[in-house]
Chains A and B, each alone.
Chain A
Amino acid sequence: MRRVPLVLSAGACLLFAGVLASQTVPAANVQEVLVGELLPLTGNFASLGQQYLWAGQTVEDIVNNDYPDLTVPLGPGKGFPGLGGAALKLVVRDDQSRGDLARTLAEQLITVNKIHWLNGEGTSGNTSIIQPVVESFGIPMSCHPCASPTLTEKGLQWFWRTGPNDKTMVASVFTFLREWREQGGPTDLKTIALFTCDNLFCQDNRKIAAELAPKAGFQVVLDLTTKTGATTLASEVQRLQAANPDVLFLVQYPPETSIFQGDAKRAGWTPKIIATSNGAYSDQTWLEAQKKTNGGAGWLGRDPTAIDLVQDRPSWRKVNEIYKKYSRGQNMGELAMREITGMLWMADTINRAKSVEPAALAKAASETNMGPEQLIIDYKGVRFDKTHQNELATGVVTQVGWDGEKHTIWPWDLAKRANFKVLYPSPGWQERDTKPKPAN
């Protein structure tokens, strides 16, 4: 009878060893590295999701094919050399822009599809919903274009972000406005109105702007939050017009931004400065549409990279050519650039880990020290702080010129290189109508 506990203990040990063995995936056995791409491909945020999908397909292409002249991680050579040439395979799921569905799909990707890394969801709100799921399963996760500071401030063990957060980027706008006075800019800009939508992304921006505005010498004369999916903003424009701020800080999605433009034009109102942060300003289709109307001329906003200067980089041009294969000919917008930069870092991390074991991936991610020469955009590099936020991600300020393109106006050294004269004050509607349109 004494043998029974002995046999049971031995069996338990074997079982435990088997479980351990199954969790450690040696490099030689990895044929494909599975990356879950959980994206809003339909629903309210579909226009973002499709850009992230194209970005993901671009990175999959770069990793799996040989681009000898491409100076980005895993550009030359096929597959992951650190994993014996294993290929990158994206497992794409559409959460219809719904947080509840994103949560379910994240679980499915981890438990059914056995992904090694989860990239997504592309919007800060839905990413915050799936973070606890991924954290509980203990696999690496990233969302590079998500800008809400809270995503990393939670101090999660398994979440990384290479892109700058809203604090960095909104701070760029206010630093520009403050320093501009000393650099020969207008000295009579005293008041500001905040005009934001009501979701996590917009509200994070609003809170940061409300905190930074007084420090930059502005009095907040109006703070308006609108509904996402608004069908009219005429009353809001009335209130803005009545408050008459020198600077309008606007964070709205493209449909609401175009409604605002229509209502502001109808009211004949333009503040001296329209400053914005992400939303429509990051949307390539909105920017292209402005070229037909001059509607965006004079708008300034934060960007993660000096978009006019980065195009001179050969690696940027090459990556853009690959991106266009998937985007039906569209150029990379700044969101796509952020996503591609982040996913190439992820590929580099997997390659350095030489394993798809979560602990090895986490170690490699935390040990990242990537130089700017490996990036397609203007970050100073990739290196994470203790919250897994890239501390070398930077923000710049750009302004849309009469040519419909963005030009860098801050920081001053980059602005000097861009050699663009800031449009001030923001052109009135009549001037926009009468000037030649770049797209025509």
Chain B
Amino acid sequence: MTLLLQAVVNGLEMGFLYALVAVGLTIIWGLMEMINFAHGEFLMLGMFGAWWLSVTFGLDPLVAIVPVGLAMYALGVLIYRQLMRRVQQGDPFTQIFATIGLLFLLQNSAVAVFTSDYRYLSNTVLTRLSGANLHVLGVSVGVPILIGALLALVLFLALYLLIDRTEFGLALQATAEDREAAMLVGIRPQKMFAVAWGLGAALVAVAGAILANFFAVFPQVGFPFTVLAYAIVALGGFGSILGTLLAALLVGVVQSVTSVYLEPAFKDAFVFASYILIGLCRPQGLFGRF
């Protein structure tokens, strides 16, 4: 029983980290319905940003999330204005290929600048806490991941309030729903899309800065997370911020529990099997609406 309970707790902890990664995609793909295959590369840039600020200026990644987030916001807006705004007018396939191109551009640029070496952070607040655990009912909860999870919760709450409770958020939703109608009430769709890209890039980069404490930093690090992030956003329901959070937790738990009792090599297969199973009953995802 303790084994199962521990697996569930481990899964929830990882789920919060997955939620952090998926939150940026919730806006760009889930809400604005734009495809971005370079999402993992934004995460990678966030991780490299945190690593670079740490080794160059001794800045802890928990502090580095501010400059990393701001820089990536600017990059997200730039990418929308220079690339995606034009691509948006074409076929959805154009978006797919443009962002795949962006993926290779960003990944190979990172290889050129940083080489493909694996880089690791040490002596940060979270790495120093890496052995610290809280023990509840015979189950141990890792303190650093718990802090990461709390940060994820704060980000989700902030995003939820921004999207659902502010005029700006409503304008963002209106733009996603009907661009022409939004224009009629004075909303500038291009600006909304640019802000959405900026926010999406900034959020996933912040996730990257936190994840850099737990994972090796290298140019290809984004891919496994991107695959899971797409499954999470679709599973949660497009545009549903709460759905994304719950789906991320579900993915974490499915991975963790199946790995305890079944062959761990297939843990992602079980995640996608769950997605298919839920998709058969609720094609719109857990909290999505048609």
Residues of A within 8 A of B (CB): 41-44, 46-47, 49-50, 198, 224-227, 229-236, 238-239, 242, 254-255, 258-259, 262, 265-268, 283, 285-286, 289, 292-293, 328, 429-430, 433
Contact = CB atoms under 8 A, between A and B. Distances in A.
Contact of B120 (A226, A230, A242, A258): A258
5 contacts: A225-B265, A235-B10, A235-B259, A254-B118, A433-B131
Contacts of B256: 232, 234-235
Interface of B: 3, 6-7, 10-11, 13-14, 18, 107-108, 111, 115-120, 122-123, 127, 130-131, 133, 140, 142, 145, 214-216, 218-221, 223-225, 228, 252, 255-257, 259-260, 263-268
Nearest to B266: A227
A259 B131 CA distance: 13
Given A225-B264, A236-B264, A259-B215, A268 B6 contact: no
A319 to B, nearest CB: 20
B139 to A, nearest CB: 11
Given A47-B116, A266-B133, 10 more contacts: A227-B265, A227-B266, A231-B225, A235-B259, A235-B260, A258-B118, A266-B131, A266-B140, A268-B131, A430-B131
Q: Which of A49, A229, A283, A328 has the most CB of B within 10 A?
A: A229
Nearest to A291: B122
A238 B266 contact: no
A238 B7 contact: yes
A265 B214 CA distance: 12
A285 B145 CA distance: 25
A401 B248 CA distance: 40
Contacts of A232: 10, 14, 252, 255-256
Contacts of B145: 266
B135 to A, nearest CB: 11
Nearest to B7: A235
Nearest to A327: B115
Contact of B118 (A41, A255, A266, A293): A255
B257 A235 contact: yes
Contact of A231 (B14, B116, B260): B14
B179 to A, nearest CB: 36
Contacts of A43: 220
Contact of A44 (B10, B131, B220): B220
A205 to B, nearest CB: 15
A235 B260 CA distance: 5
B122 A289 contact: yes
Given A225-B263, A231-B225, A293-B122, A50 B131 contact: no
